Structure 1
Amino acid sequence: MWTPLDNSLSALGESPFWHPQERSLYWLDIPGRAVLRTRGEIGAGGAVERWHLPTEPGCMAPARSGGLVIALRDGIYRAREWGGALTAIARVEHDAATMRFNDGKCDALGRFWAGSINEAKDRANAALYCLDARRDDGQSPMLSQMAEGVTTANGLAFSPDARTLYWADTPAHAVRAWDWDAAHNTLSHGRVFKRFDAKPEGWAPGSALAYGGRPDGATVDAEGHYWVAMFEGAQLLRLAPSGEVVAAFALPVQCPTMPCFGGDDLRTLFVTTARKGRPEAELAQKPASGMVLSMRSDVPGLPVHFFED
C-alpha cells in the first residue's frame, strides 16, 4: 500500500507540502538542517535536491511571490528563491538554546502560523504564533501569539470552511480545537478535540503492551476530516469533525511525523517519517524509517496555502 520515495531519507522528516506550479514535493529534515524537494517525475530513481540551512527548520510554506517562508530556531525567515539568502522577518522572545520553532503552515488568507517546542520537555511553555505580512500600510510584518501552554506544538490544521483551528500537544497525547474567525483571526471556545491513551510504562517497540502513538503533524482533507500522524504508533489516523476515528492506516515505520496531500489531483497522500534516535533493531526491521511514504487516497486533500507578503 505504501511506497517509499527514492532518495528521500532524512533523520526527521517534517512539514511536507505539494507545490502545484512546480509539481514538486517539499519537506524538511529538522536535525539535518535542510529543505528537500523532488525534481522531475516522482518515482523510481527520482532526483531529490537538498538545501542546507544555518539552524534547524521547524516548518515552512511556499510564498505567492516566489520562494519560501521558513521558521528556524530563533525566528521566521524569508528566502526569495531556492538556496537564496535568508532574511529575518520576525523574531520571537524565547531562549533559542532550549526552544525552537516546530510545526506550522499558512492559512487560506496567507498568514504563516508556527508553533514552538521546549526541547527539554520539562514544562509547557511553548506557544502558537501567527505572522501577518499583508501590510498595505508599509509597516513590518506583525507576529502575534495566538495560543500557549503546550510542550511540543504540533498537528496544526484548518477546517475547509475556516471555522475551526486544530493544534496538538504531542507529549500530552491531545489535539485541541478552537472556533476560529478567520477574517478577524480570533480563537474562542477552546476544547479537547481528541485525547489519546498515554504510553504504557515499560512500552518499547515490539512490546506486547498496546500503544497507538501520540499526535504529531496533521492535515485536513476536502471533506473536513483531520489526518494525524501517530508518532511511535506506526499509523496514520483519519478523524471526523466530531473527533471520531473513522479510519486507521498502518505504516511500515514506527514514527510517522506529518501527512500532506499532493499530485495533480491531490489524491496522493505523502507522509514524512523519522529515524533519529530509534533503536537499531527497529531500523533493521523497518528500513523505510526516515523516508517519505506515499499511497493513493480515495478522498482528495486541499491545495497548499501560499504565504502572502
Structure 2
Amino acid sequence: MVAEGFTYLEGPRWHDGRLYFVDFYTHTVNAVAADGGPVEQIAVVDQQPSGLGWLPDGRMLVVSMKDRRVLRQEPDGTLVEHADLSKLCPWHTNDMVVAPNGNAYVGNFGFDVMGDAEHEFTNVVLVRPDGSAEVVAEDLSFPNGMVITPDERTLIVNELFGNRVSAFDINPDGTLGPRRDFANFGDLGDEKSWQKRVEQSTITPDGLTMDAEGAIWIADCAHSRALRIAPGGKILDEVSTAPNGVFAVALGGDDGRTLFMCVAPDFDEKARSANREAQMHAVRVDVPHAGTP
C-alpha cells in the first residue's frame, strides 16, 4: 500500500523520484514516495484533473476534464491555460501523454458515460508546445491510457470500450499515421450500449504503461486485474486486484520495476465522490519501465 483515503485515483506517473497521481473528486494533483509516506498536494484543478505530463523545461501539464482544457503549472505554482480543447473534444477530456519534445496527445470520453448515453466513437487531439491543437486520430472507442515508445516513433492507445489496444506511427510533425492493432480481442462493431460493449469484451483497457521488452501493462478495469500484454495480444502476466477494480497503472521506482496500480471498488461518479475508498497499490515486476510516460 503506497497511499489510501482518496476518492478515485488516475494518471499515475513516476517523475523526479516520486509517484505523481490525481484524485478526481478532491480535484487534486499529488505526489508521494515509492514506499509511501506523506502525500504532497501539488495542485488543485477545479474542473477535475486527469492526465499528467511535463514539458521539456520541466513545467507540468494537467488535463482539466470537465471544461476540456490542458493547464500548465508555472514555476510559482499557478495554473494557466495551455490549450482549450472544447471545440475539438465532444465530451470530457481524460488521459494524456506528453512526448519528450513537448507534444501532448489527449483523449476524451466521446459521450456522457456517467449519464448512460449511447456509445460514440471519438478522437485523439495533439496539443503542441505553443498550445495550438488539432485532431490527429478519429473513430476510437473511449481513447484513454497512452504511451509513446522509447524511439518516440509510435503512440499506443487503449480503447476502453473497444476490446483493443491501438497503435499509430508518429509523423515528424507530430501528427499520426493510420490506426493499426497493437492487440485486438474482437470487433465490437457499432454496438451503442457501452455496458454491452464491456460485457462482450475480453479486456477493458484503462490505464497503460510500457516495459523494456516492448510489452504493455494495462489496467483491465472491468475484470479487476492488471495484464501484461505482448504486441499481437498474448497475455504474459496478470496481477489480480479483486475485489477492487484497477483503473490506471504506471511503472516506476528507482529501478523502474515497481508496478503502481490505482484501485477502487468501481468507477461510478456518485459512489466514488461520496467515499474515500481509493488506494494506490504497488507490486514488484521483472521487466523495468520504458517509453513515455
Question: What's the TM-score, normalizing by structure 2?
Answer: 0.81
Distance in structure 2 (CA, Å) of the matches to 1:242 and 1:68: 33
1:113 pairs with one of 105, 122, 134: 105
Is the 1:155–1:175 contact (alpha carbons within 8 Å) kept by the matching residues of 2? no
Q: Aligned residues, how many?
A: 275
Aligned to 2:227: 237
Q: CA deviation at 1:191?
A: 2.2
Specify whether residues 90 and 279 from structure 1 end up closer, same or farther in structure 2 by C-alpha distance, changes over 3 A only: closer
Distance in structure 2 (CA, Å) of the matches to 1:107 and 1:268: 22
Specify whether residues 129 and 196 from structure 1 end up closer, same or farther in structure 2 by C-alpha distance, changes over 3 A only: same
Aligned to 1:206: none
Specify whether residues 42 and 237 from structure 1 end up closer, same or farther in structure 2 by C-alpha distance, changes over 3 A only: closer
Q: CA deviation at 1:303?
A: 6.4
Distance in structure 1 (CA, Å) of the matches to 2:195 and 2:27: 32
Aligned to 2:139: 149
Specify whether residues 220 and 67 from structure 1 end up closer, same or farther in structure 2 by C-alpha distance, changes over 3 A only: same
2:174 pairs with one of 157, 167, 185: 185
Provide structure 2 residue ranges, at least 5 long, that are not aligned to the other structure: 189-193
Is the 1:254–1:289 contact (alpha carbons within 8 Å) kept by the matching residues of 2? no
Alignment of 1:43-62 (within 5 A): 43=35, 46-50=37-41, 51-62=43-54
Is the 1:160–1:224 contact (alpha carbons within 8 Å) kept by the matching residues of 2? no
- The 3-state SS of whatever aligns with 1:232 is helix
Q: CA deviation at 1:301?
A: 0.2
Aligned to 2:149: 159
Alignment of 1:280-295 (within 5 A): 290-295=278-283
Alignment of 1:200-211 (within 5 A): none
Q: CA RMSD in A?
A: 3.1
Cα deviation, 1:165-205, whole Å, max 9, x if unaligned, reads 21122122222222333x3323224223323468997x9xx
Q: CA deviation at 1:253?
A: 4.5
Provide structure 1 residue ranges, at least 5 long, that are not aligned to the other structure: 134-139, 204-208, 281-287
Is the 1:232–1:254 contact (alpha carbons within 8 Å) kept by the matching residues of 2? no
Aligned to 1:277: 268
Q: CA deviation at 1:233?
A: 0.8
Alignment of 1:91-102 (within 5 A): 91-94=84-87, 99-102=91-94
Distance in structure 2 (CA, Å) of the matches to 1:278 and 1:120: 12
Is the 2:125–2:135 contact (alpha carbons within 8 Å) kept by the matching residues of 1? yes
- The 3-state SS of whatever aligns with 2:251 is strand
Cα deviation, 1:24-73, whole Å, max 9, x if unaligned, reads 110011233111111xx5436x1012343211112111344344111103
Specify whether residues 64 and 178 from structure 1 end up closer, same or farther in structure 2 by C-alpha distance, changes over 3 A only: closer
Specify whether residues 174 and 126 from structure 1 end up closer, same or farther in structure 2 by C-alpha distance, changes over 3 A only: same
- The 3-state SS of whatever aligns with 2:26 is coil
Give the letter for the 1:298 counterpart.
Answer: D
Aligned to 2:73: 79
1:222 matched to 2:212: yes
- The 3-state SS of whatever aligns with 2:278 is coil
Alignment of 1:23-38 (within 5 A): 23-38=17-32
Distance in structure 2 (CA, Å) of the matches to 1:218 and 1:226: 7
Is the 1:271–1:293 contact (alpha carbons within 8 Å) kept by the matching residues of 2? yes
Distance in structure 2 (CA, Å) of the matches to 1:153 and 1:303: 19
- The 3-state SS of whatever aligns with 1:271 is strand
Q: CA deviation at 1:85?
A: 1.8
Specify whether residues 32 and 232 from structure 1 end up closer, same or farther in structure 2 by C-alpha distance, changes over 3 A only: farther
Cα deviation, 1:243-265, whole Å, max 9, x if unaligned, reads 32222222244321121111111
Give the letter for the 2:2 counterpart.
Answer: L
Q: CA deviation at 1:226?
A: 1.4
Larger Rg: 1
Specify whether residues 196 and 12 from structure 1 end up closer, same or farther in structure 2 by C-alpha distance, changes over 3 A only: farther
